[in-house]
Amino acid sequence: LLSRQSIDGNTSFFATWFHPGDQISVHANARIGEQDRHLAIIVHLARDWDAAWGGDLVFLDRSTPHHVHPTFNTATIFRVKGGKRFHFVTPVIAAAPRHAKRLALSGWFT
């Protein structure tokens, strides 16, 4: 197991498409209703995404923020149980080309 814990609850997944100006503010993903979330996963589906266009996943649990660039066909999996894994997505800049799509499939395991 990646998390070294049993994950036998529900899963929840959704797709995202970030347009210029879109971002996600700082959050921790620890709970949904009465249920604790254990792991979050983001499958990056943005082909040929340029880091200059923004849309980075940024973790704040270190002394220096850690940026994860949305690289096509990669996954970011991280523990969220306990609510201490604060993160956000930087804004996609207005100058990002119209053909560029910052796509991802995201979800949680409970």
User: What does the pLDDT look like over 11-56, one tens digit per residue?
Assistant: 889 999 999 999 999 988 766 666 777 788 999 999 999 999 999 9
- Distance set, CA 98 to CA 9, 50, 55, 92, 93 (Å): 39, 13, 14, 12, 11
Per the listing, tokens 């266009």 go with: 53
| 44 touches 51 (CB < 8 A) | no
pLDDT value at position 49? 95
Least confident of 5-9, 40-44, 54-58, 69-73: 5-9
Percent of the chain exceeding pLDDT 70 equals 87
pTM given for the model: 0.84
